[in-house]
Chains A and B, each alone.
Chain A
Amino acid sequence: MPFPPSALSPDPMTTWQRIRRSWIWYALLLAPFCLFLLFVIWPTINAFRLSLYRMEGRNEVFVGLDHYVRLLNDSVFIDAIGNTVLLGVAFLVIVLPLSLVLASLMNGIRHFSTPFKVIYFLPQVTSAVAIALVFNYIFQPDWGLLNAILRNLGVADVPLWLAEPRHSLTGSRAAVTILAVWMGLGYFVIVILAGLQTVPRDLYDAAAVDGAGPVQSWRHITLPGLRPILIFLIVTGIIDAMARFSDLWMLGGPGGAPARSLQSIVMFMYQTAFESGNLNLASAVAVIFFMIVLLITAVNYGLFIRRETTTT
């Protein structure tokens, strides 16, 4: 049956009338929008502007892209980027499979799953600084908890952890990766668990009828069902890993000790601004950091998110 003409014709209300009808919603949005402008948009724009100047006393002098040229020729900055990427990749490579396994196991628990969820999630709601302080005690080479346990188990040559700047499975980078995994695991598990619970049970029942075993069901039903969740975790996980600061600062001090093995881009930016007093150069670091995150997000969008949004 054809629709009556009135149902197919455009809404007779004008845009202005629609705004007037829902003005209260715009009013409610106004205050947070102003705060967003003041504390996010304006500082971001100002960082771009500052990065093009240098200070001579209290006067700003336009220097164009000089700070960017300087940074791209600065081995300390390049190393900080490499270190950030390395720590981020190590974190995601460990935390994603681990949280997937744990969430799958928890999903199979019929009773008392809530205490597990709470325990795994607790580090997520604890201060990163407090966690870093505790891990500082755990990873101290001479009197830390971990090496004390290893010595009691008869290990004579205990690892140096935070005193070892080399790329090693028992060095400073390994220690902060363990910390990051411990801290982030609960969040990943909870999000994946939520995703698992959206996969229709019917599919598993049908697969069982067709003779699929648990591994085949997991491979062909669970994983495809989790795809949007995993993409979300990868994208946000990369951004979080790039912005890592507090725990590295607490364990490595202002210089990312030992020997800058724990220095990240954000630590470099902080050190440039507040340890060396060069806000303009630090702003250029912030802009490059912004561009890197933007690029990663764009690539992720192109590779994963667009496909998800167009297929759903």
Chain B
Amino acid sequence: MHASRRAATLALAATAVVSSGAIAQSPDLGPATGEVSVLMIGWSDQDGIDASTGKPTVGIGHLETLFEAKHPDIDLKIINIPWGSGSTGYGPKTESMVQANEACIYDMPASFDYAKRGLLQDLDVLIAQDASFEDIWEGNFLENSKGWTPENANATIFLPGYSGVRVTHWDAQLFEDWGVEPLSANPTVEEITEKAAAMTGINPVTGEQNYGYWYQGQYLSWQFQSLAHALGANWGTVNEDGTWTITWDTPEYLAAVHKLLELAQYAPEGALAADAMPQGFLTDQNVVAIIPEGEPGYFIQELINGTDEQRARFRTSYNLRGPDGLGGLSTPGMYTMAASCPNKLAAWEVLKFLTSDPDVQRYYFAEGGNLPTIIGGAELMPELAVLPDAEIIATEPAFEEPRYPWAASTPRWALQTALQAALAGTMTPEDALKQAQAETDAWLANPQ
């Protein structure tokens, strides 16, 4: 471990002790033994066979076996639910379990909201009492795990178990057909605009209609944030008192909406109704050349298990980046601890295991295509080397913006709806941003 990292960890722990008053109050963290329940999302319940690759898959129970071999005094119970949708989605299930104190550890995409509600444990308290704790996560993962709780404005609220990865996809075959230079590893907005325009029309080789650009109309926020940040926009800040200041109605965001409208001309007309990657993506049927900020992760296992031709055709570049060198949605698996957990010391061991054990990180990659978050994680996914852009995929998370705390709140929907209206032509870009700002301000004034 580097000296600077160790010093940073000590400083973090010291800050945690001071800010949380852990020593003075000697919080009761409960026993370091007993049963610890964990809510995990989207894994296989049982060992089986992957329907698309035919390869064996390993059920989530594997992690229980691994953990209990190392910690025989703690009984790990994993409750695995699907991501689901609507009334059967993970959101209502998570809420129900939190309300009923059904688990100690949660894989919790909306962790910032739960932290604001005072339902999560400030992990700095546990870090402070754990002499063996080290920051072993890559880049700013741990620093970006901070959020606001009623007791601590800068609390560590989760540990990053794995990282999703959103990158810019491009189809090398279409670039070749059109005689366009391949997309650079770090594309700019101008490069994407120019090349998307050049590849929209009837393909000179296949005679099919091609499109230079793609956006997911139903989930537009993340791609737009990436684009806007590249044009100098910033969403706002988290204030000392835990409130947020969010600024959609700015010249930078307005320029980004205009740019989005320009780029949308090079996308299929129906992209506004899209909730996924374009039809035919990763197959010979693909007709879209550039897909910025694509769906997280799933393409990795598809390409690793695919053919050489497939890997040579579907290439990857970094996401757009802003003036600060960062860009794109951070999508870590956020493992949190419930404030109501009766045996926090035991849960702390589970939490560390699920977020830093190399075997677990390997499991996340092999079974879900999620990237490791710990330093040296690249060694845990040797299969990635078969992809021509393996390094870009492995290092993209280090360049992502800190997680947007409003990612699972009203401001996201306010902005997204306004963008859809602008794309559909039912609102001007100016009015769309004003509407998003007004809705967001109304919510910020009274979020609960």
Contact = CB atoms under 8 A, between A and B. Distances in A.
Interface of A: 54-58, 70, 74, 76, 129, 139-144, 160-166, 172, 245-246, 249-250, 252-255, 257-260, 270-271, 273-281
Contacts of A141: 268-270, 273
Contact of A255 (B85, B89, B114, B417): B417
B269 A142 contact: yes
Interface of B: 85-87, 89, 91-92, 95, 110, 113-114, 117-119, 150, 217-219, 268-273, 275, 279, 339, 408-410, 413, 416-417, 420-421, 423-424, 426-427, 439, 442-443, 446-448
A33 B266 CA distance: 60
A249 B113 CA distance: 23
15 contacts: A54-B448, A55-B448, A56-B150, A161-B273, A163-B272, A163-B273, A245-B87, A246-B87, A249-B86, A255-B413, A257-B420, A258-B424, A273-B95, A275-B413, A277-B114
Contacts of A144: 270
A23 to B, nearest CB: 36
Nearest to B447: A278
A18 to B, nearest CB: 42
B86 A250 contact: yes
A257 B95 contact: no
B223 to A, nearest CB: 14
A136 to B, nearest CB: 8
Given A76-B439, A160-B269, A274-B91, A166 B85 contact: no
A164 B420 CA distance: 10
Contacts of B113: 276-277
Closest 10 CB pairs of A and B: A141-B270, A57-B118, A162-B273, A274-B91, A163-B272, A253-B218, A163-B273, A142-B270, A249-B86, A259-B421
A277 B117 contact: yes
Given A57-B117, A163-B217, A253-B275, A278 B413 contact: no
Contacts of B416: 255, 257
A277 B217 contact: no
Contact of A275 (B85, B218, B408, B447): B408
Nearest to B88: A129
B115 to A, nearest CB: 10
Given A58-B117, A276-B409, A165 B424 contact: yes
Given A58-B119, A249-B85, A254 B114 contact: no
B420 A162 contact: no
A249 B87 CA distance: 9
A50 to B, nearest CB: 11
Contacts of A253: 218-219, 275
A277 B420 contact: no
Given A259-B426, A271-B413, 8 more contacts: A55-B448, A56-B448, A140-B273, A140-B279, A172-B273, A259-B420, A275-B413, A277-B408
Given A58-B117, A253-B275, A275-B408, A166 B424 contact: yes
A28 B240 CA distance: 59
Contact of B426 (A165, A246, A270): A165
B218 A252 contact: yes
A285 to B, nearest CB: 14
A244 B180 CA distance: 48
A5 to B, nearest CB: 62
A59 B444 CA distance: 20
B150 A274 contact: no
A276 B113 CA distance: 8
B117 A166 contact: no
B86 to A, nearest CB: 4
A278 B95 CA distance: 11
A253 B421 CA distance: 15
A55 B95 CA distance: 14
A258 B117 contact: no
B413 A57 contact: no
Given A58-B117, A253-B275, A255-B218, A275 B269 contact: no
B87 A270 contact: yes
Nearest to A249: B86
